[in-house]
Amino acid sequence: MIKKLFIILLVSLCFLNTNLANDTTKITLKTYSAEPYQGELFRLIGQVVSNLHYRKFPIDDKLSAELLDNYIKHLDPLHLYFIEADVEAFNKYKYTLDDDLLNGKADAGFVIYNKYQSRLEERINFTFDLLKTELSFDTKDSFLYKREDVKFAKSLSELDKIWVNKIKYELLALKTDGKDFKYCAETLKKRYNNLYKQLSKTKTVDVFSFYANALTEITDPHTNYMAPRQADDFNTTMSLSLEGIGATLQTDNEYTKITSLVKGGPAEKSKLVSVNDKIVAVGQGTDGEMVSVLDWRIDDVVGLIRGKKGTIVRLEILPADVTIKKNKVIEITRDKIVLEDQASKSAIKTIKRKGKNYKIGTIDIPTFYLDFARASAGEADYKSTTRDVKRIIKEFKDSMVDAIVIDLRNNGGGSLQEAVELTGLFIKTGPVVQIKDAYGIVSSEKDKDEKIAWEGPLEVIVNRFSASASEIFAAAMQDYGRALVIGEQTYGKGTVQNVINLNQYMQYPDRKMGQVKITLAKFYRISGGSTQHRGVIPDIEFPSIFANKEYGEDASKYSLPYDSIMPESFTKNKTISENLSEIAKLHKTRMTDNVEYKYLLEDIDAVKKAEMDEYITVNEELYKKELAETEAKNKARKEAREAAKAKTKSNADLILDEAHELIIDQITLATPTKKK
């Protein structure tokens, strides 16, 4: 994803000091041009991704056209800045960017960016002029906010009409809190003035980064160029030694989106934010000014959110739940993010069925972690997923549990070594995952330790955000028939990346070149199919509120495709597969009468309907009416849902509750087989 700057200011409630007039006259925007070394650096990045990437591709006219389209898309994804004539003018580069890449020229990227900056400046000034007089909100106009597939405006006058409705909607989002037009207009002016200031802070290295990432992304979504500052932030994050809220962030159009939460981190513990929530504004302390971060660079947003342990940061959030029509402001106390916070945790629950008690042990694994530094130093007490799980299993055995559930929901991966060794706790020996590199050479990672930590009934829970190493472990357990896999289809991230420091190829005195994170290989199951793109399909699959095309590997048109290779030789336990149809029937029967399952289906249906809406009314009376109806409906539904939970004595974790029932099904159905 490009670390881009500014695209669109869509919606949100920002609580800002309004005593500031338009002072953009003090700001002079630069015209950018490539520095001499950047052309050479652009060529080097092209050579690296062309020669080393898993997906070999020539630097030709096809690549040139894709690069141009992708760059325009990332600068103006919602078609709110460029007009048709601009794009037509850019088409002169359509079949020449490949030649520029080979010849070490990055000038076209700067020319296009300068035009983008000029158009953005026009839109900001248009907004200031528009807000000089009070606008009418009694027309039946609407704003089309799903604009990725619309055509560019044919003229500036056509674009002006679009922006009038856009600004009206932003004002309505502010007016819903009872503020008058003057307050809302001044608030919006300050927001756009702040955007203008951020635009003026752009550096040549930023423009180059936008352009270089437009190139790297068309190879696959996990390959990207990191300018020196981003590279330093990446290395800091990988060290797990930072202070903040414990969230991974990503640019998503004009927003900064939360893509994952560190288990045990402040954000996850707060229960106030969710994956795919979008950050609209950031404030320091309990009463610091809320600063809009729409269209900010990702590293600047991270800089605002990160801070010393014990301090408070306030976030204005646009919830991921599209049925919620209003933003919320939350407080999170920063803390140090350390490896221990992500350690595996366990719990034991006793379930009674037909007069018999079953003790089920659950192990929640938030990530596949390994304290490599301490392990390499020979320290005996280093932390690792496998070591912690092995210890927990021993405790479970001492407590005489009947079965174990491994919970990998929202586990985004981590150490491949740990995924392999964890698999080894549940099988005797054998292959765990196959890896095919860019040259077609296939190797495999194997468990060679014959010791088995747990031979009893086993279950693995996954969801849409279980990725990479999680998928390797779940796939191996499924292929071996060692565990019943339940939950949602996983993310589908079946690729291997490595980071290349570009200074090893190109050296300038006292200048860092940055890094390229590049995809070098693909993961394959021991049964032959790739985990890439398709992920792991559970044996018992739950419907997901997260659409595959928006939250997963297949959300990007540049993701590597699913394919298969020859399977490995391994021995499969057929007990689960032989009983799977009966287990599925029992599950279906339980879900028929499960109140929480019905609510899940209703949630999914509500999200689908909300996502079909493309227009937002800018009629104040109608807007407030729709908002009130939505809030009343959500409130009544929440109350009814809580009442149903209290009556049935169920908790909010539908899948974990059902996991306990499913593993008891495994035990009871397998028992007759054992007696034969």
Q: Which residues have a catalytic role annotated? A: 468, 479, 493
- For residue 421, give the nearest of 396, 457, 445 by alpha carbon: 445
Tokens of 70: 């992708």
> b vs e for 481-497, b when ≥16 Cβ sit within 10 Å of the residue's Cβ?
bbbbbbbbbbbbbbbbb
CB 617 within 8 A of CB 626: yes
Longest dimension (CA), the chain: 87
How would you classify the pairing of strands 540-541 and 484-487? parallel
How far is the C-alpha of 91 from the C-alpha of 101, rounded, in Å? 17
**Which secondary structure element, helix H or strand E, spans residue 624, and what is its range?**
helix 620-648
How would you classify the pairing of strands 515-524 and 458-462? unpaired
Q: To which residue do tokens 């608030």 refer?
A: 187
How far is the C-alpha of 504 from the C-alpha of 206, rounded, in Å? 22
- For the chain, what percentages of helix, strand and coil (3-state, to nearest 5) are there? 45, 20, 40
CB 209 within 8 A of CB 227: yes
What is the amino acid identity at position 214? A
The number of beta carbons lying within 10 Å of the beta carbon of residue 285 is 12
The number of beta carbons lying within 10 Å of the beta carbon of residue 628 is 12
How far is the C-alpha of 497 from the C-alpha of 518, rounded, in Å? 5
Residue 530 main-chain phi, psi, to 5 deg: -80, 150
How far is the C-alpha of 572 from the C-alpha of 479, rounded, in Å? 7
How far is the C-alpha of 364 from the C-alpha of 342, rounded, in Å? 10
Tokens of 173: 């989002």
How far is the C-alpha of 421 from the C-alpha of 423, rounded, in Å? 5
Tokens of 313: 């940061």
Tokens of 342: 């992500």
The CA–CA distances, whole Å, from 409 to 384, 412, 488 equal 18, 8, 9
What would you report as the CA-atom Rg of the chain, rounded to the nearest whole angstrom?
27
Axis crossing angle, helix 416-424 with helix 385-398, rounded to the nearest 10: 30
What is the amino acid identity at position 276? N
Number of separate helices (H) and strands (E) present in the chain: 19, 21
